[in-house]
Amino acid sequence: MFNNLFTYGVLVIALAYIYSRNSSKDWHGVSSPETGTIAGWKEHITPPAKRISKVAVGVNGNADLIVSATELLRTLGVDPSKGKDHDLLNSLQDLGEAFSFFFERGAAAERFFSNEKVYAKVIEAADKLPNKQYYVGGNAALSGQKIASIIPDCQVLFVGPVGPKLKRLFHERITVPTSSLAASDEVHLIMEYAKGETWGSMTTPIATRFITSNDQANGRMEKLELFADNIKEFGADMVILSGLHLLPGQSESFWKERLKDVVKEIEKIPRSIPVHLELASLADSKFMHQVMEQIFPVVNSLGLNEQELSFVSSAGNGPHQGVIESEEGFPEIGVVGDIMHWILSTYGQGKLAGSRLTRVHFHSLSFHVIANVAGTWGNSKSAVGIGTRTASQQACEETEMTAEKYSLKTPEAFALSVNSPPLRREIIMYDPMNPITTWQRDGMEFYFGPVLVCKVPGRTVGLGDSISAMGLSYSEF
């Protein structure tokens, strides 16, 4: 029966795509869907009644060294090769194969470089490239930087390893305890590439990046206990946690104990303070399963992208394993909604005794979805809107958006589910003047918003963290 439902669901979505590509264009009095969406955001995004004033963020931070991926690989003497994913990188060959694997798919990914000497050689070569740039790096640090730069009345506490480069790059409104300061920076390598760029016989369908590091302090979550100790003294009204994805670079015995420590420290935080966990790219299914079983139930909110959503479903034996992306390279909206529904149904409040989890924020290049347990979060319609608008603005590096610089990549007609018959039969026609679509399912609220994809992006790294941070800042717990 499942196969029949799935086939029917895919057919419905396919028909929606066909309809949308061939229907007459009526954009409600505006010249394009991009122009209408920008106007729709201005009309429908409203700040929460009460803004957060103190946010504690931890525990991973580093200096991002951003370079052209293909330029660096040529400098290192790495030739194009058949793509092959590696859980850990140990050589230049591993780097080349893993990069090719994700480059061909146009998928963002992050892998730990376990060989310290080879990684040092890679960083040395990257640092000598003429067009290199250093930015704030690390999911937690990026979230804190975004909140501090956008919300003028919000104080941000950051706890994590902070070297001289990162300290100079931080916004002036970010407070860093003296005990977080380090003599040198952890450096993560961000290998960026543009849409249509070629590597050997491969051409990538979108602009994105491949990340690698040989992180030691972040990889052991060394500042975890310090972070938890500072939250109460700081008086935080929201907590953002990230950095778990770096633990698999350590031994299994180490990360198993560290996950127990994470649970212990989170449980010290009063339940009146929401805790958001921002995931990042993972390849170890055993580790991912433990995070889902142990960490998901002790946080209130979860942020993740399409690769992470797919991996969560695979590791937890959830729905639509391996079919997260459509033939056009973008996730199917109904498939995403089904997996988010499964996450909250399996690990969320009301489904699992004692669970805090009530919110999931999915973000991809082409659209976002926020799912809440009904009655637990407010202003979510604006939260998903501000997240999508932030993604567009940051990618094109502009505050006032110029419609011609963007392209709407989500379908003009789509179904809300594959697994739920009532939702599967409901085809939504996208209205740019009302860019946020909402629906309910089994005591959950869903909020969908399209991203206007920047045609010539300036930066691809850090978008997910900024998106989640802005979505949280507009949410009411």
pLDDT digits (tens, 9 = 90+) for 242-284: 999 989 888 999 999 999 999 999 999 999 999 999 998 888 9
Res 201 pLDDT > 60: yes
pLDDT in the model for residue 18:
44
pLDDT in the model for residue 1:
43
Burial 58-75 (b: 16+ CB within 10 A, else e): bbbbbbbbbbbbbbbbee
pLDDT in the model for residue 377:
97
DSSP 3-state of 250: coil
More confident residue, 10 or 379: 379
- The backbone torsions φ and ψ at residue 274, rounded to the nearest 5 degrees and listed phi first, read -70, 140
**Dist. CA 214–CA 108, nearest whole Å:** 18
The sheet carrying 208-213 orders its strands as: 88-89, 109-113, 208-213, 187-193, 62-68, 133-137
Residue from 143, 132, 187, 144 nearest 165 by CA: 187
64, 94, 284, 465: the active-site residue: 465
- The architecture that CATH gives domain 1-48+251-477 is 3-Layer(aba) Sandwich (3.40)
Exposure of 212 in the CB half-sphere (CA atoms within 13 A): 30
Q: What percent of the chain has pLDDT over 90?
A: 74
Res 27 pLDDT > 60: no
pLDDT in the model for residue 263:
97
Mean per-residue pLDDT, 462-470: 79
pLDDT digits (tens, 9 = 90+) for 54-85: 999 999 999 999 999 999 999 999 999 999 99
Res 23 pLDDT > 60: no
pLDDT in the model for residue 475:
95
Res 404 pLDDT > 60: yes
Res 11 pLDDT > 80: no
pLDDT-wise least confident of 16-20, 408-412, 444-448: 16-20
- The mean pLDDT of the chain is 90
Res 28 pLDDT > 60: no
Res 15 pLDDT > 70: no
pTM over 0.75: yes
Active site residue 465: yes
Res 464 pLDDT > 80: no
The residue to which tokens 């640090």 are assigned: 141
The structural domains of the chain, with segments of one domain joined by +, span 1-48+251-477
**Dist. CA 389–CA 46, nearest whole Å:** 13
Res 189 pLDDT > 80: yes
